[in-house]
């Protein structure tokens, strides 16, 4: 397997620490709001990686964190430790406790992952009844359940001489790490701190880039809702230390791959790498793999603040299927920036439906997979997840002179990685019984009248009868489940 290594700044051969096994830590969501498509791109990208590695025969041990405390809103070049706590801020806005915010939005993460056919970190399909209450057994780890491990890690870093303490916090002294800026090569002097009025700087802080390991419940944070006792006083963990504690507690002090978005490179992953060295005396992660951004119409990073960052439910209300979104992300390499628009998503929808129809035309009889195409499929996966090559290969296979039943079996085999539900069936409306036809017509009227609640109710009713409704430019189409 070849992937782009951020530290090496090139595509490299991935050589596992243990032959045939790969350990992966994936930076997961901060659960204070519903994720938008810009957030979801990363998780589809890494699902493709996960499924590809399983397809290629690797034993994959993977974990994904859930950040439910300590993630501050960034206010400067260093990702300020003294911004607003995202969990507390949202809890105040919604009038509920921070842990209830975390539980609420963890459940929406599970909903979105299920809709997008994203595997749980442990490699299982996500059960329909899985909620925040029992996600740990499926490979997720919540920061609030690793507080003791976080404190233990901070104590190790302190004992190794990498910290100092002020009245407000325990800091990591970045000058103790000669390679601190290895990811970016940027000089610390090039950065600014305190560039916004709301940034509160600790006067006892030695260096602008030093970051918090443990925030004390004093000053600005004296009323912080989520807090725990520690050797340094009541408080809560910094954002970066959570990943070091969870990753190494579960995967050990050496693991293969750490995934995340490129926005994590200059601060979060730089600090996490420093913590790893401060704890164990050596780097922990062998390969840091990052995905590129989804861009808005102005070619800036897609974000809530700049508009156009649709959530998955909003996209569904606009008539798209979640698998249209998956197809859109699957068709683009994880290292490629891509501009998002509804028109681009419409193109992905049309391509997906066209592929479904072509597969359906092969019939239902299955044969055997075609070894030549399987080997070429593996080659494209191993070539830095060359998904455009995969789709071109499928197109070639569909045009080939191989027996239809063998083509069908081979495409179904490829769909173990793509997970576009290529074995589903688009049903012509004239072949559907009159009851379904009647409900479908009612739904069309509801949509024309912009009665989306009724439209959704009827869609769910049709779903209960074994069909999924696809809203296409040419009207409603049914897909048999």
Q: What percent of the chain has pLDDT over 90?
A: 73
Q: Is the pLDDT of residue 195 over 90?
A: no
From the list 157, 181, 160, 184, the residue with the least C-alpha distance to 171 is: 157
| pLDDT for the residue numbered 448 | 85
The reply, when asked if residue 243 is annotated as ligand binding, is yes
| pLDDT for the residue numbered 77 | 43
Confidence of residue 318 (pLDDT cuts 50, 70, 90): confident
DSSP output for 301-338? BP-GGGS---BHHHHHHTT--HHHHHHHHHTS-TTS-E
Domain spans of the chain, in order of start: 17-291, 361-423, 424-481
Confidence of residue 191 (pLDDT cuts 50, 70, 90): low
The reply, when asked if residue 335 is annotated as ligand binding, is no
From the list 143, 329, 310, the residue with the least C-alpha distance to 241 is: 143
User: For 17-291, CATH number?
Assistant: 3.40.50.620
**Residues 143-165: pLDDT tens digits?**
999 999 999 999 999 999 999 99
The reply, when asked if residue 50 is annotated as ligand binding, is no
The reply, when asked if residue 304 is annotated as ligand binding, is yes
The reply, when asked if residue 428 is annotated as ligand binding, is no
| pLDDT for the residue numbered 74 | 55
Confidence of residue 361 (pLDDT cuts 50, 70, 90): very high
Number of neighbouring beta carbons within 10 Å of residue 44 = 24
Q: What is the mean pLDDT of the chain?
A: 91
Pick the residue with more confidence: 77 or 128?
128
Model-level pTM?
0.87
């Amino acid at each position: 397997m070849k992937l782009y290594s951020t530290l090496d700044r090139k595509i490299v051969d991935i050589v596992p620490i243990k032959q045939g096994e790969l350990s992966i830590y994936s930076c997961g969501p901060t659960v204070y709001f519903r994720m938008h498509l810009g957030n979801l791109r990363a998780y589809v990208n890494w699902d493709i990686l996960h499924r590809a590695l399983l397809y290629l025969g690797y034993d994959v041990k993977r974990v994904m964190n859930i950040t439910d405390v300590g993630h501050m809103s960034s206010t400067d070049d260093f990702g300020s430790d003294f911004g607003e706590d995202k969990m507390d801020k949202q809890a105040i806005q919604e009038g509920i406790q921070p842990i209830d915010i975390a539980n609420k939005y963890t459940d929406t993460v599970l909903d979105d992952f299920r809709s997008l056919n994203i595997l749980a970190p442990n490699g299982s399909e996500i059960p329909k009844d899985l909620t925040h209450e029992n996600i740990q057994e499926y490979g997720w780890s919540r920061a609030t359940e690793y507080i003791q491990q976080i404190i233990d890690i901070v104590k190790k870093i302190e004992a190794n001489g990498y910290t100092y303490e002020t009245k407000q916090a325990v800091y990591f002294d970045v000058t103790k790490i000669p390679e601190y800026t290895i990811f970016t090569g940027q000089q610390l002097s090039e950065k600014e701190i305190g560039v916004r009025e709301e940034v509160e700087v600790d006067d006892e802080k030695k260096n602008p880039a030093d970051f918090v390991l443990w925030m004390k419940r004093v000053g600005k944070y004296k009323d912080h809702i989520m807090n725990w006792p520690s050797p340094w006083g009541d408080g809560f963990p910094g954002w970066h230390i959570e990943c070091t504690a969870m990753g190494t507690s579960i995967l050990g002090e050496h693991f293969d791959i750490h995934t995340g978005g490129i926005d994590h490179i200059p601060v979060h992953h730089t600090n996490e790498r420093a913590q790893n060295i401060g704890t164990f005396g050596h780097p922990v992660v062998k390969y840091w793999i990052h995905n590129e951004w989804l861009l808005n119409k102005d070619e800036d990073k897609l974000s809530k603040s700049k508009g156009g960052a649709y959530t998955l439910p909003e996209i569904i209300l606009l008539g798209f299927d979640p698998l249209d979104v998956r197809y859109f992300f699957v068709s683009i390499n994880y290292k490629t920036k891509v501009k998002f628009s509804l028109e681009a998503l419409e193109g992905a929808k049309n391509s997906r439906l066209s592929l479904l129809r072509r597969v359906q035309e092969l019939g239902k009889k299955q044969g055997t997979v075609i070894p030549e195409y399987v080997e070429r499929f593996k080659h494209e996966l191993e070539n830095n997840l060359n998904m455009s090559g995969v789709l071109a290969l499928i197109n070639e296979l569909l045009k080939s002179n191989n027996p239809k039943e063998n083509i069908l079996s081979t495409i179904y085999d490829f769909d173990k990685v793509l997970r576009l539900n290529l074995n589903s069936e688009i049903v012509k409306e004239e072949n559907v019984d009159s009851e379904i036809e009647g409900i479908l017509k009612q739904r069309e009227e509801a949509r024309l009248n912009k009665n989306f609640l009724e439209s959704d109710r009827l869609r769910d009713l049709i779903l209960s009868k074994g069909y999924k409704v696809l809203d296409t430019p040419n009207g409603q189409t049914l897909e048999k489940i």
